[in-house]
Structure 1
Amino acid sequence: MADQAASSRMRLPWLPRYDEPRLLAAQMTLIDQSFSSAMLGCSMAAFILATGLTLTGNRPGALPWACAMALACAIAYFGRLRLPGRLSEAGAGRYARGMTAMLTLIGALWGLVAWLYLDVRQPAVVICVLSLIAGMSAAALAVFSACLPVAIGFFLPAIVPVWIAFLATGDIEYLPMFLGTPLYLCVLLVFARNYARVARHAIALQFENVELISQLREQTARAEAAQHAAEDASRAKSVFLASASHDLRQPLHAMGLFLVSLGRTGLDERQRQLVAHIEASSGAAREMLNSLLDFSKLEAGVITPRARAFRLQPLLYKLENEFAPQADARGLVYRTRDTTAMLYGDPTLVELVLRNLIANAIRYSRQGGVLVACRMRRLHAVVEVWDTGIGIPAAQHRDIFREFHQLGNPERDQRKGLGLGLAIVDGLARTMRTRVTLGSRPGRGSVFRFNMPLAWGTPEEAPRPPAPHGLDGLRVLVIDDDAAIRTAMSELLAAWQCECRTAESEEEALALLSSFTPALILADYRLRGHRTGQEALDAIRQRLGRHVPAIIITGDTAADRLRSAHASGTALLHKPVVPQELQAAIDTLLRDPAAQGEGNPDRQAAAVAR
């Protein structure tokens, strides 16, 4: 009877449960790929916090707490290696339960430090503790959400003690934090559930693909049906990437805006170092998401080259100034062979191709160096990037241009990128009507080449943008259904001396027009009631009877969405938006309201390079 009761409880729809063994094994494989980085980051964050707590006050228990955290992370990391067949269908259940237990312990240790040291009389300590707990929760969302019970095992014990600590103060001034903490927990749980749902669907489709391919080999008569299924799987992959990217961009966008506001407060040097570490982690995540965006733009076909005559040497100097210090830090020699070549093409896209090739050359070279050169032929020039890296076997020469394919990274180390760089290079080359070729020998290095037509006559210099306008007194209307983003955006615009109003829906924005006439509108793409920012923008312009400059901000990277925005001619920014990008976009609209982002052909080529 007890077993039946327990089984009945496990079937309750509102309780998270582990999926069937085959699906669970794939989920745990996804988590296992990033588990080592997660445990290392958790340990480092604990020692950073403990050091700060020890140096800023009499807290002798902080370092023992950090040691306990490091020990728990080490047990979790090495303990999983002792589980036989942990990624098999037979062992995935035990691996998932063990990881849930260890993450519950690690989350409880983070909750313990909040319970012990979240002293509201010391705002600096509160900021440090909350920043690191929020950062670790965001990281856990990205790493562990493929299996929902595993992610919940960390979130609940890490965040609930923070809420209890604010409740225990009994101070009405901390009511926003008391209300905001469970809201943040709910947001994490919602995003984790959505990510797990998308991951589950994508994994199920992957299994279906394997079965379809097997049937295709056995029954050639079903070739046409199998081809349609493969196309559906490819679309599902794009939907998965777009959905996962959107759900991860939303909290990163809010966190980035809040970090800017936090950086403007009176922090001491130690606190600024902690904020800098958080900004660095946020920036790394933003770079990965932007790689996905670049790839989505290529798939959507919204990049159109803007060809002109330009000299290659200034571009090579610019890249040398950027990458030579990186190469020197790795003990490599970076060389550029001077050239007088004048090419005809899009210099922005040529720069992005070279940037990806050079970054790859430095990443995969342990000794020797990198050489960037240009050889002129009769009617064209051959641009080359040489390295003395690990080399590429001949059998892999075609595969390395596929998305998410990496050499020498079986553990999927996130520091080595997502495996999209060469796929983006190949797509950009095809967009410019050329192709990248490869010559390589394992252990001897590689050379990547692509041809560009030579130009004759005088190079066309790109126009220099005028000095940025001031934003003092600019009346801005922000429309976003996320309260955290509305707050962060309002604080950022206030720091720029703008007069800002916020609305969470189209109806609320229209109601504000009776007392507030905006000179600029910033709108999220997805709004309440299945409305979009573009629809809200059209309604506002119709109500005012005039054109109002506007920027749509979105986390969607689906190909259909990119093509729709491209066709609408509206300025478009992708989350997470850094303040410099937002200010530059606003300045462009103030200077020329007709210049509407990616819909303007003069700016399409630059859109992918950001």
Structure 2
Amino acid sequence: MAPEIPSLPRPEALPTERTGVEQIEAVFGTVTVGVCGAAFAAGNLAAVLCHLGVLGWRTGITWTSYIAICAVGHILLCRAYRRSRPVGDRWRLWAHLFTAICLAEGIGWGWAPIGLTVGGNSDVKHLTVLIMAGVAAGSIPAFSPYLPAFFALFLPATIPALIAALLSADPVQHASFTLVLLFILFIGGLGVKANLSFKQLVGLRIRTEEMAGDLQRQKDIAEQANKAKSTFLAAASHDLRQPVHALGLFVGALRGVALPLEGRRLVEQIEVSTNAMDSLFTALLDISRLDAGAVEVQRQPFVIGSLLDRICRDHAEDAKLKGVSLKARGCAAVVDCDPVLLERVVRNLVSNAVRYTERGRILVGCRRRQGEVLVQVWDTGPGIPPEQHDKIFQEYYQLGNSERDRAKGLGLGLAIVRRLTDLLGCRLKLQSRPGHGSCFEVSIPMASGPGWEIEPAGGDVSGAPAHGLIVVIDDEEAIRAAMQSLLTGWGYDVVAAASGDEAIRRLSTCPVQPGLLVSDYRLREGENGIDVIERLRSEYNEPLPALLITGDTAPDRLSEAQASGLLLLHKPVSNSKLRAAIINLMASADASEAAREELSVDS
């Protein structure tokens, strides 16, 4: 339904107090120029009449002074009004004072055609009436916003001339009666019309301000609702991630336990379900981090072909199981982009193509064009109707998945692609024909110099030696128990604690220095993992390697955790990623320690 357009408010429907204040504000805004002009006209008229011998100087000066005093009264009243700035009912007092001065000034001008031209001929009288008429007409812009003030000046200034013309024995003066009457009716009508127009403008402004206020209130409500939604989602996401993370750790620990064949099969099925939940949480986290502005672009030149080859190798098995050919054309072009973020973009596009292509092939390749590399992902899938091209980049929108089959994803992959390409400053283009397939194209700027080859993904670390003491700080008992079981099964010694104080207390009786600190980001009683890690490092006076794990998606917490400089993993963490992170951190620490010892020996 189209929104209703508000009609222009009628003057009688306006708030009386607000309208009155606006009227008085308007007349005080223009009164100075108007009355100064009238006083100048009065002085000139008196001077001309005195020069012609029609008017005595004493009478001329007296009348001019009277008009000038009225003008000064208007100006002084205006200054007093500006200083007081009345609100509410007080505007009426100023209106009455203003009207009274207008009446006095109108009487002065009404006396002019009668008192100033005694003994003068018709030309002199016509001149005086003409000057008076000009002043009366000039009162429309100056005084018509407040109709009582306008008529208080206009009627006393014009009616005496009308009566004088009617009673005059001079046939020329008598004949001008009709003209003066028409002038009064016409100018008076213009004054009334100007007043109605002013009230309509005031009403429109009042209505606009009210609508703007309503809009601001609705905006505030929407922002509060959005903030409440974000807070709820962040809390719900954190609370859901905790048990899923613990479940994944327990599954990893179970893999190290001797089980019968049926038990191992059940563990594998549990792990598949856990990995599915992990992928969904990862997509939600990506959206949260992008919306929070917690993702930084780190551009560097690299060979795009090696990145595409790795992505296609990772998805080759899934495509093969569906009978779909997945190939990447070699490309030696060097691009200037963030390899991690670009990999996520292309990986989502390829994963989407594999998911929706049931037969045929998928081709990933590049084209060079005007200083850019166009990365294209072609597929022979069902295609996308033109009217759906924009919708598929919206969150949770999926074609042909009204039943929300989780096997078809969550509907966040292309939304993430859109956000990442916007962040990278890359153009995203879609070409598709229903029944013939689709092509997603990402335009990436070329680098001016040589670039590095992206190495293949890290290999299996399951056989890497495990040794050393790992301190785990987490306020969830289930996660502490799962981490202890998993890390012990991998061959590490473990000290698990719920807080920084408990960790220090437990470590006080431990003769071994920790080789790694693993802490949850958000702990109880306002404590956080960053502070706990710094406390433990200061206890040993060593930059102990540390790993921060979080289930938070709140923008401020994500930004703070990201800025800590610590390696950050997001719950639920897969066992392979956790193990690789532990091995790499501890290996780097061992290498640094060996380098320091060698330097100490040499010196």
Indicate the TM-score class for this superposition, using the shorter chain for normalisation.
0.5 to 0.7
Partner of 1:561: 557
Distance of aligned partners of 1:510 and 1:337 in 2 relative to their CA distance in 1, 3 Å threshold: closer
Q: Cα distance 1:594–1:382, how it changes in 2: closer, same or farther (>3 A)?
A: farther
Distance in structure 2 (CA, Å) of the matches to 1:528 and 1:221: 42
Partner Cα separation in structure 1 for residue 547 and residue 368 of structure 2: 43
Contact residue 426 and residue 435 of structure 1 kept, 8 A: no
Structure 1 Cα separation of the partners of residues 437 and 479 of structure 2: 47
Question: Structure 1 length normalisation: TM-score?
Answer: 0.57
- Residue matched to 2:568: 572
Residues 487 and 494, structure 2, Cα contact 8 Å, conserved in 1: yes
Match of 1:242 in 2: 234
Q: Does 1:504 align with 2:495?
A: no
Q: For residues 572-604 of structure 1, give each alpha carbon's deviation from its aligned partner in whole angstroms, at most 9, with x where no partner exists.
A: 221122232222222333344699xxxxxxxxx
Could you tell me how far 1:562 is from its partner in structure 2? 0.8
5 Å-filtered alignment, 1:82-97, equals none
| CA distance in 2 between partners of 1:447 and 1:277 (Å) | 35
Please list, as runs of the form range in 1=range in 2, the aligned pairs for 1:65-80 lying within 5 A after superposition: none
Q: 2:472, 2:497 within 8 Å by CA — same for their partners in 1?
A: yes
Map 1:135-214 to 2 at 5 A: none
Inter-partner Cα distance in structure 2 for 1:446 and 1:562: 35
Q: Secondary structure at the match of 1:304?
A: coil
Q: Deviations over 1:241-274 (max 9, x none)?
A: 3222212211111111111221111112222111
Cα distance per residue 1:116-142 (max 9 Å; x no partner): xxxxxxxxxxxxxxxxxxxxxxxxxxx
* Pair 548,499 (structure 1): closer, same or farther in 2 beyond 3 Å: same
Alpha-carbon distance, 1:283 to partner: 0.7
Tell me the equivalent position of 2:333.
341
Cα 1:324–1:570 shift into 2, 3 Å: closer
1:549 is aligned, of 545, 552, 560, to 545
1:529 alignment partner, SS class: coil
Q: CA deviation at 1:456?
A: 4.1
Deviation, structure 1 residue 431: 1.9
1:484 aligns with 2:478: yes
CA contact (8 A) 2:549 2:568 kept: yes
Q: Which segment drifts farther, 247-256 or 295-304? A: 295-304
Given the alignment of the two structures, is residue 225 of structure 1 paired with residue 221 of structure 2, yes or no?
no
Match 1:588 to one of 581, 584, 588: 584
Specify whether residues 472 and 385 from structure 1 end up closer, same or farther in structure 2 by C-alpha distance, changes over 3 A only.
Answer: closer
Give 2:290's match in structure 1, choosing from 288, 298, 302. 298
1:189-210, Cα deviation, whole Å (9 max, x unpaired): xxxxxxxxxxxxxxxxxxxxxx
Give SS of 2:259's match: coil
Amino acid corresponding to residue 333 of structure 1 in structure 2: S
Deviation at 1:345, TM superposition (A): 1.7
User: Is the aligned partner of 1:381 residue 2:340?
Assistant: no
Shift of 1:462: 5.2
Deviation at 1:219, TM superposition (A): 6.1
Matched, 1:323 2:315: yes
1:439 and 2:431 correspond: yes
Give the superposition deviation at 1:470.
Answer: 6.1
Q: Secondary structure at the match of 1:528?
A: coil
Where in structure 2 are there 5+ consecutive unaligned residues? Answer: 1-207, 592-603
**Corresponding position: 1:367 with 2:363:** no
Q: How does 1:40-79 map to 2 (within 5 A)?
A: none
Provide the residue aligned with 1:283 in structure 2. 275
Task: Give the Cα separation in 1 of the matches to 2:547 and 2:475.
Answer: 16
Deviations 1:368-401 (A, max 9, x none): 3322221111311211112232322333222221
Cα shift at 1:499? 2.0
Letter in 1 for 2:549: I
Q: Quote how far apart the aligned CAs of 1:414 are.
A: 1.1
Q: Is the 8 A contact 1:524 1:553 kept in 2?
A: yes
Secondary structure of the equivalent of 1:366?
coil
User: Separation in 1 of the partners of 2:483 and 2:431?
Assistant: 49
Residue 525 (structure 1) aligns with: 521
Question: Does 1:454 pair with 2:439?
Answer: no
Distance of 1:461 and 1:510 partners within structure 2 = 44
Q: Specify whether residues 287 and 394 from structure 1 end up closer, same or farther in structure 2 by C-alpha distance, changes over 3 A only.
A: same
Aligned equivalent of 1:254: 246
Single out whichever of 413-422 and 515-524 deviates more from structure 2: 515-524
Which one of the candidate residues 536, 549, 552 is aligned to 2:532? 536
What SS does the corresponding residue of 1:374 show, helix, strand or coil? strand
Q: Is the 8 A contact 1:254 1:488 kept in 2?
A: yes
Q: How many Å separate the matches in 2 of 1:411 and 1:581?
A: 32
Letter in 2 for 1:590: M
Q: Pick closer, same or farther for the CA change 1:444–1:232 going to 2, 3 Å.
A: farther
The verdict on how the C-alpha distance between 1:399 and 1:236 changes in structure 2, with shifts beyond 3 A counting, is farther
Q: CA deviation at 1:419?
A: 1.0
Tell me how far apart the structure 1 counterparts of residues 406 and 224 of structure 2 sit (CA, whole Å): 28
Is it true that 1:428 corresponds to 2:420 in the alignment? yes
Given that 1:471 and 1:498 are in contact with CA atoms closer than 8 Å, whether structure 2 keeps it comes out as no
- CA change 1:415–1:220 in 2 (3 A) is farther
Alpha-carbon distance, 1:279 to partner: 0.6
Sort the Cα spacing of 1:371 and 1:292 in 2 relative to 1 into closer, same or farther, 3 A.
same
Instruction: Measure the CA separation in 2 of the matches of 1:374 and 1:507.
Output: 55
Distance 1:388 1:235, change over 3 A: farther
Q: Mark the CA change 1:228 to 1:318 in structure 2 (over 3 Å): closer, same or farther.
A: same
Tell me how far 1:288 sits from its aligned partner. 0.6
Following TM superposition, by how much is the alpha carbon of 1:547 offset from its aligned partner in structure 2, in angstroms? 3.0
Q: Which runs of 5+ in 1 are unaligned?
A: 1-215, 596-610
What amino acid is aligned across from residue 501 of structure 2 in structure 1? E
Deviates more, 1:410-419 or 1:518-527: 518-527
Q: 3-state SS of the aligned residue for 2:496?
A: strand
CA RMSD of aligned residues (A): 2.9
1:61-89 Cα shifts (integer Å, max 9, x gaps): xxxxxxxxxxxxxxxxxxxxxxxxxxxxx
The amino acid that maps onto 1:529 is E
1:445 deviates by: 2.5
Query: How far, CA to CA, are the matches of 1:276 and 1:438 in structure 2?
Result: 38
The Cα of 1:277 is off from its aligned counterpart by: 0.7
Q: Residues 237, 389 of structure 1: CA spacing in aligned structure 2 closer, same or farther, 3 A cutoff?
A: farther
CA deviation after TM superposition for structure 1 residue 360, in Å: 1.3
